[in-house]
Copies of this chain bind each other. A is one copy, B any other.
């Protein structure tokens, strides 16, 4: 299997004329998950020609504006576009009141159902389960209640071993049941065990989003071995004190977490505007962990079992 992450914004704090703050679109098993929703996120989604009506789940990490100020605009646009499907929003408890206060001020009664799921900033828990994906919230360390998220593919069906299927002469119509785990009985009444006809399912892939957070080693087990970890790297080593004061991470912190969690690849972002580019972040995190991508606005990261690639769109 494979998943795809589109970074709509990788800046922190305030947007600039060309840069957006935090928002990402994850496509996993044909499902679209929006993670954080900065001001302008809906314009970024349109720019990338995303069919926004396919987004049914939006995850908000915390209530700092650079992570959610675009949410009410998207909710409102769905209403004006006469969305009818329910929309699930996962975020801090106070988000619900913020949304309701704004809908009330415009006397808007939404055309669709908005289902709000309050996240718990105190423990890791399963917060969403779709047909093919599990989503967990993970407590992070920040000035206000903040959670990261982990998206994990569900274990899929076993794969047909086509060599064995052909050898045993299994007719096409009976293959689906075998893929689901059934043994097979041939014309002579001989039973062929399922594991002779199938191969194990692909390993489920996983993506974790950790932003914003100070160095958070106590939750490393919750993101162990993920294929891709997005970890904020607001600062470089020179601003270590500032990182501690503001409960953010340096690029080194991100590298240390990636190493401890033994992830496949680390993706950085949420850079302070004081840096013209993330070259130093990349170098400093690589002192601790080798496979690092410096995330940027409009970067698409594609992950499958064998490769992790990125392009700038």
Please tell me if the beta carbons of B73 and A46 are within 8 angstroms of each other in the complex: no
Which chain B residues lie closer than 8 Å to A43 at the CB level?
Answer: 15-17, 39-40
Nearest CB in chain B to that of A70: its residue:
B39
Identify A17's interface contact among B46, B65, B73, CB under 8 A.
B46
Interface residue? A13 (CB, 8 A)? yes
In whole angstroms, what is the CA distance A17 to B104 when docked?
27
Which chain B residues lie closer than 8 Å to A51 at the CB level?
Answer: none
Interface residue? A116 (CB, 8 A)? no
Q: Mark A125-136, 1 if CB is under 8 A from B, else 0.
A: 000000000000
Interface residue? A5 (CB, 8 A)? no
In whole angstroms, what is the CA distance A125 to B94 when docked?
36
A93 to chain B, nearest CB (A): 9
In whole angstroms, what is the CA distance A76 to B38 when docked?
13
Identify A97's interface contact among B42, B46, B105, B107, CB under 8 A.
B105
Which chain B residues lie closer than 8 Å to A69 at the CB level?
Answer: 39, 69, 72-73, 76
Which residues of chain A in 88-123 are interfacial with respect to chain B, using CB atoms and an 8 Å cutoff? 92, 94-95, 97-98, 101-102, 104-107
Please tell me if the beta carbons of B39 and A81 are within 8 angstroms of each other in the complex: no
Interface residue? A158 (CB, 8 A)? no
Which residues of chain A in 153-189 are interfacial with respect to chain B, using CB atoms and an 8 Å cutoff? none
Interface residue? A220 (CB, 8 A)? no
Which residues of chain A in 37-53 are interfacial with respect to chain B, using CB atoms and an 8 Å cutoff? 39-40, 42-43, 46-47
Nearest CB in chain B to that of A49: its residue:
B17
- Copies held by the complex: 2
How many residues of chain A have a CB within 8 Å of chain B? Answer: 35
Which residues of chain A in 215-258 are interfacial with respect to chain B, using CB atoms and an 8 Å cutoff? none
Please tell me if the beta carbons of B73 and A144 are within 8 angstroms of each other in the complex: no
Which chain B residues lie closer than 8 Å to A105 at the CB level?
Answer: 63, 92, 94-95, 97-98
Which chain B residues lie closer than 8 Å to A76 at the CB level?
Answer: 14, 65, 69
In whole angstroms, what is the CA distance A312 to B16 when docked?
21
On whether A144 and B107 interact (CB within 8 A), knowing A17-B47, A101-B101, the answer reads yes
Please tell me if the beta carbons of A106 and B65 are within 8 angstroms of each other in the complex: yes
Which chain B residues lie closer than 8 Å to A39 at the CB level?
Answer: 39-40, 42-43, 69-70, 73
In whole angstroms, what is the CA distance A63 to B143 when docked?
30
A145 to chain B, nearest CB (A): 10
Which residues of chain A in 11-66 are interfacial with respect to chain B, using CB atoms and an 8 Å cutoff? 13-17, 39-40, 42-43, 46-47, 63-65
In whole angstroms, what is the CA distance A47 to B18 when docked?
8
In whole angstroms, what is the CA distance A40 to B9 when docked?
13
Nearest CB in chain B to that of A93: its residue:
B105
In whole angstroms, what is the CA distance A106 to B65 when docked?
8
In whole angstroms, what is the CA distance A42 to B38 when docked?
13
Q: Can you list 9 A-B contacts (CB < 8 A)?
A: A14-B42, A14-B76, A69-B72, A69-B73, A69-B76, A94-B105, A101-B101, A107-B143, A107-B144
Top-6 shortest CB links A-B: A17-B46, A94-B105, A17-B47, A14-B77, A63-B105, A65-B76
